[in-house]
Chains A and B, each alone.
Chain A
């Protein structure tokens, strides 16, 4: 089986990678392109630590062959914050101590981002649904759910101000 060149976007950056067939998006992002915010808790779809957005949809990058993102836009945690300002989800994670060791945090933030992009005013049950595929071993989840709810409020008030 021969390697092939795959082109896609990571954030605003156009990238082109040479990959063997079935190389995962996770492997390419972490080890070819240096996006190490994409974590590797299990590499088999069980922990959510590698979650990224593909055209805005949350995806487990460890399960996705990189060929599948050809021509699409991948968003990793690196793209979320401005250089001098955190995204409201990130700030809420700090405010609510929604992490301890921090290893699951990138995936948690990304699935939260996907949720709030889709539904700016989620119920608690909807927040828990969004987090259901992500494993946290430290916090007990409650602080994460609170952070997402708080971020939704902040984003809503910002939206109201900009209108």
Chain B
């Protein structure tokens, strides 16, 4: 088939390469517009507090101050980004109302003639906060008596009545009972920042026809447009989003954080408004990759075959869930790893804490599952006296295998990929391993 292809399969140069190396590529904040205002945000200095009062009087006297926006200015202030695909409930506040749930949560937006004036006015806003106890650990957040982060009374995202995304396949407890070995591990990972070299940014510009053009470095133009339309309660047809060139994202630019406020400010002032994260905001306020705690318990036979795998995962969603509930579902579907295991049980919890919200990041729900499972595979190898290659070949999934989430494997090439890696690094496989394929197992098993 490759021989028939003219262009697909060829390493043609990047069509945007010349723009990138000459600096002609226009990124979002490379644009400026006449009369452009600058938006900066007053953020919570504490992890959890009641908002008793906001005093803008000093900020309003800063030369160049144009106006402030608080939650009363936001038409639909409580949203959830995945509401577009039916995820409930609405939970995140565009601007905080009576409570802040993480350090850095936006409370007031300041619009000013210059960036310096906006920053000065932000520093002049006086907040009256009453600090509340906060919770920072995923398992502590689930204990009775823990501070409650959400507005519905517990700290988990609810999946159709369950506090976790469940996968049930076979009977793990029966398999544990007959397994020769039980191998257990607990895997912890800390939050990670996407750290794109270009920070999250947009510029909202009133157009002559009453619409608003929004130049943005979002990863998902319509996701941003549709959420902005909901938050501002305007028809999507009044919004015109322009982007497509992004200075690194890695999942961090799927959230819809800057566009609603900048567009609202443009509506309120009739002028272009720029809202760009400073580097510290990108580092400390933008979403992270979740912290994870993953418990893995495996039932293993003497020869190294895994007969049961039980995974209990906690992802720290921070104060709001953003994309994390979805990541947990993808995690649950794949947390058993690329192995044929007849009995699998997975409980994946999306847990609210007073950390900065986490969200999507490259490898969405899978990266940390792969870390846990692949370290666990070496633990199993050690427990049964196999080498790390052999335990993986022995358990590798193949086409036709039913995966724990009841999807039959049809594109499996784990075996071929491991064979290629072994050859690449000069690791000698056994004749049996070298002869294996991902072809469907024959009737009666092998």
Contact = CB atoms under 8 A, between A and B. Distances in A.
Interface of A: 30-31, 36-44, 46-47, 49, 76-78, 80-81, 86, 90-91, 93-94, 97, 99-106, 109, 135-138
B209 interface: no
Nearest to A107: B197
A97 B195 contact: no
A37 B22 contact: yes
Contact of B14 (A43, A76, A81, A94): A94
Given A46-B279, A137-B248, A138-B248, A102 B20 contact: yes
B440 interface: no
A124 B178 CA distance: 57
B420 interface: no
B250 A137 contact: yes
B136 interface: no
Contacts of A136: 197
B246 A101 contact: yes
A-B CB proximity, top 9 nearest: A37-B23, A103-B247, A102-B20, A36-B30, A42-B279, A90-B21, A77-B23, A103-B197, A94-B17
B64 to A, nearest CB: 12
B22 A86 contact: yes
Contact of B13 (A49, A77, A94, A138): A94
Interface of B: 13-14, 16-27, 29-30, 32, 194-199, 246-250, 278-279
A84 B25 CA distance: 17
Given A94-B18, A99-B21, 9 more contacts: A39-B198, A43-B279, A47-B197, A80-B22, A90-B21, A100-B248, A101-B246, A102-B16, A106-B23
Contacts of A109: 21
Contacts of A105: 20-21, 23
B22 A137 contact: no
Nearest to B32: A31
A101 B198 contact: yes
B20 to A, nearest CB: 3
Contact of B22 (A39, A47, A77, A138): A77
A145 to B, nearest CB: 16
Contacts of B198: 39, 41, 101, 103
A101 B196 contact: yes
Nearest to B30: A36
A94 B248 contact: no
Contacts of B13: 94
B215 to A, nearest CB: 13
A148 to B, nearest CB: 13
A11 to B, nearest CB: 12
A41 B199 CA distance: 7
Contacts of A97: 14
A104 B23 contact: no
B119 to A, nearest CB: 12
Contacts of A44: 279
Nearest to A87: B21
B406 to A, nearest CB: 37
A135 B22 contact: no
B249 to A, nearest CB: 8
A68 B163 CA distance: 60
A134 to B, nearest CB: 9
A86 B22 CA distance: 8
B21 A41 contact: no
Contacts of A42: 279
B18 A104 contact: no
Contacts of A90: 18, 21-22
Nearest to A43: B279
Given A43-B278, A86-B21, A101-B248, A135 B26 contact: no
A114 B197 CA distance: 22
A105 to B, nearest CB: 5
Contacts of A94: 13-14, 17-18, 21
B367 to A, nearest CB: 16
Contacts of B279: 41-44, 46-47
Of the listed residues B17, B21, B279, the one surrounded by the most CB atoms of chain A closer than 10 A to its CB is: B21
A39 B16 CA distance: 17
B197 A41 contact: yes
B26 A36 contact: yes
Contact of A49 (B16, B20, B197, B250): B197
Contacts of B14: 94, 97, 99
A42 B198 CA distance: 8
6 contacts: A39-B197, A41-B197, A41-B199, A86-B22, A99-B17, A135-B197
Contacts of A40: 29
Nearest to A89: B21
A42, A46, A47, A101 — most chain B CB neighbours (10 Å): A101
Nearest to B278: A43
Contacts of A77: 22-23
Nearest to A40: B29
Nearest to B13: A94
Interface centre among B16, B30, B199 (most CB of A within 10 A): B30
A90 B25 CA distance: 14
A109 B24 CA distance: 13
A47 B279 CA distance: 10
Contacts of A76: 23
Contacts of B250: 137
